[in-house]
Structure 1
Amino acid sequence: MKKHWLYKTLFILALLLLCTLGLIGLVHRCKDATYVSDTLNIQLEHIEDKAQQMEYWIATVQVQDMQQVQAAFANDTFPGKDKQFVSTIARQHDAILAINGAATGFNDVGIVIRNGIIYRDEVFDCAPLEMRQDGTLFIGEYGKRTASQMLEDGTVHTWDFSPDLIVDGKVANYAAQPWFSTDRAPRTLIGQRTPYEYIIIVADGRRPNCPGMTYQEAVDIYQALGCTWAYALDGGGSTTLYFKGKVVNHPSRFIQRPYSDILYFVE
């Protein structure tokens, strides 16, 4: 009996340690929170919609310039075969807020530009999301431009997991597909209203009473917020939101999935 309680106590202590390190999201460490400085403003809102069985966070990030919008690979290596926790990569780069990226190690194709450097120039099955030097988001026509042309247009980062949700104010053509409005899963999404402002939505899912968010529900939220651009990054078990040293959401596998790349914001 004593051994039983000893094992139980050690198990609980181990879970608490992992929570402290930010590796497991067992409880909300951050419901609504802010980070404000002279150059960076982050407003994080936590929403529980019990009627729709959704739990998600909206992070409104305002930066002064694109030096504060950064990308990193696990162990600083490409093509992303190396993996680390999102929280680990974020801490190594002094991130204030970070999210999982586009799983660069998952595919051998796709245009990959990060921090103004071309890492790969192979066409994927969708046009990438471009984050540009003038603080704007852009989604072009599929297969029409090379990575070099994107650099010439001022692209700093590309993300190509897809689908695009809103393109220049118009809902993407994918909306006509049944899966767009029926498939629920954890989501990592990014949108924009004005230059240098980024609206990030991270939705929990794949757990009891919280199956996740559909792309159509994401579009509805972005439109209500006034966004004219929106795009889906990698989701599912990869979905991770890191803010001020902690993982905020609940990764669907109970613990963070080791991952290849992140998008993050700094001072």
Structure 2
Amino acid sequence: MKKLKQTFSLLALMAALLALCSGATAEEAPAYGDLTGDGEISAADAAAMLRGIAFQQLSEEARPDLDFTKNGTIDATDARAALFYACGGIEDMVAFGERVSGGLCPERLFDRFCYTGVRDDGSGNYRSENVAVSITRGRFQTSNYTLADLYLQDISYLTTAFSNGTFGGGTNTVKKMFESVPDAVLALNGDFYSLHVYGPVIRNGVVYVDRVNRTWDIALLLTNGELVTYDDRTLTKEALLQMEVYQSWVFGPALLDAEWHAKEKFRSAVQPVNPRSVLGYYEPGHYAFLAVDGRAKKSKGLTMQELSQLCEELGFSRAYNLDGGQSSVLLAKNGVINHPVRNGRPISDIIAVRDPQPG
């Protein structure tokens, strides 16, 4: 009997110890993203992550909470995200992971965006978790230019608008069309499609004209975010129908070759010095609006070859010339941010950046 009591006592003691250990384990379970055990995500966690990555001591299976970008692996980008959070750049790390993993931009570009609200100066500089725009100005050859660097997490944020809200709706100012786009941030004149309507005309995924012009260079923005350009006589209707096209433009020319270098020859009637508008492309999610001032004493404009050289210098992988001259207008909420000839002219369409807001 005495031996049985001792056995029960021992079992009771073991149960108590097990309960105590289980409680301690629960209390010591690491907080989300906390690698150093201080209860929060800090710069020390970022440093510890880099060490763990370097020595292959971290795995997504063991610590899935450290995969902040939700790409299935823990890497240096996650360490950067931890440091960004520690510095106050991210409010909600879980929401951050959902946004970055589901966005158009590569995750390495996450720090281009703002995760603590919206920053908007009204003059084109804009940052939210969905859209980032920065405006810079420069000079090339004899001309001044304005460059809008665009980062977009959804292809629908690069939209187009027709004059008076309809295909074949005549002409209007860039400002009027900009005001018709909900949550618009920035706008650039388009290809003035109504002057020729050669085709294809595809805007915001809607096909208005499906024929393919054979004598003009063509640009297509695909739903996967890629911008592709075609020299004259290279795109066929059959090929067009096989692609998921979100936007199309027919003006040109395409300004860079397949190796991203400046071209020397163009099929274009507007090669002499002029004001210019360009849609630039780096990679899916990363684009640019470029406006070159011209027909002024301090800014003459660029030839097509000079414009091509500027696009290479700016690092575009593809670039497409849009309608220029007096049509060239780059506009933000506070007004025009380039220097259009005689304040611009009425045109038929624009390309705009928008950032839809909740509610």
TM range (shorter): 0.7 to 0.9
Q: 1:33/1:108 Cα in 2 relative to 1: closer, same or farther (>3 Å)?
A: closer
Report the TM-score when normalising by structure 2. Answer: 0.59
Q: Structure 2: how far apart are the matches of 1:99 and 1:234? A: 10
Specify which structure has the higher proportion of strand: 1
Specify which structure has the higher proportion of helix: 2
* Structure 1 residues 38-84: Cα deviation after superposition (integer angstroms, max 9, x where no partner): 100001101245xx32111111100001110101100112235x111
Equivalent residue of 1:193, what SS? strand
Matches within 5 A, 1:124-203: 124=213, 125-140=215-230, 142=233, 144-146=235-237, 149-150=239-240, 152-171=242-261, 175-176=264-265, 183-203=272-292
- Alignment check: 8 A CA contact 1:167 1:230 kept: no
- Match for 1:40: what amino acid? V
Q: 1:65/1:248 Cα in 2 relative to 1: closer, same or farther (>3 Å)?
A: same
Paired-residue identity, %: 29
Q: Structure 1: how far apart are the matches of 2:353 and 2:323? A: 18
What residue in structure 2 maps to residue 256 of structure 1?
344
Q: 1:134/1:155 Cα in 2 relative to 1: closer, same or farther (>3 Å)?
A: same
- Match for 1:161: what amino acid? F
What residue in structure 1 maps to residue 353 of structure 2?
265
Q: 1:36/1:209 Cα in 2 relative to 1: closer, same or farther (>3 Å)?
A: same
Report the TM-score when normalising by structure 1. Answer: 0.79
Q: 1:226/1:246 Cα in 2 relative to 1: closer, same or farther (>3 Å)?
A: same
- Match for 1:138: what amino acid? V
How far does residue 242 in structure 1 lie from its aligned partner after superposition? Answer: 0.7
208-217 vs 108-117, which moves further: 208-217
- Alignment check: 8 A CA contact 2:144 2:293 kept: yes
- Alignment check: 8 A CA contact 1:46 1:58 kept: yes
Asked if residue 77 in structure 1 is aligned to residue 155 in structure 2, the reply is: no
How far does residue 206 in structure 1 lie from its aligned partner after superposition? Answer: 1.0
What residue in structure 1 maps to residue 117 of structure 2?
none
How far does residue 172 in structure 1 lie from its aligned partner after superposition? Answer: 6.9
What residue in structure 1 maps to residue 28 of structure 2?
none
What residue in structure 2 maps to residue 91 of structure 1?
179
Calculate the aligned-residue CA RMSD, in Å: 2.5
- Match for 1:112: what amino acid? V
- Greater relative contact order (CA < 8 Å, ≥ 6 in sequence): 1
- Residue number among 4, 10, 34 corresponding to 2:125 in the alignment: 34
What residue in structure 2 maps to residue 10 of structure 1?
none
Q: Structure 1: how far apart are the matches of 2:136 and 2:161? A: 25
Asked if residue 112 in structure 1 is aligned to residue 201 in structure 2, the reply is: yes
Q: Which runs of no fewer than 5 residues in structure 2 stay unpaired? A: 1-120
Q: 1:265/1:97 Cα in 2 relative to 1: closer, same or farther (>3 Å)?
A: same
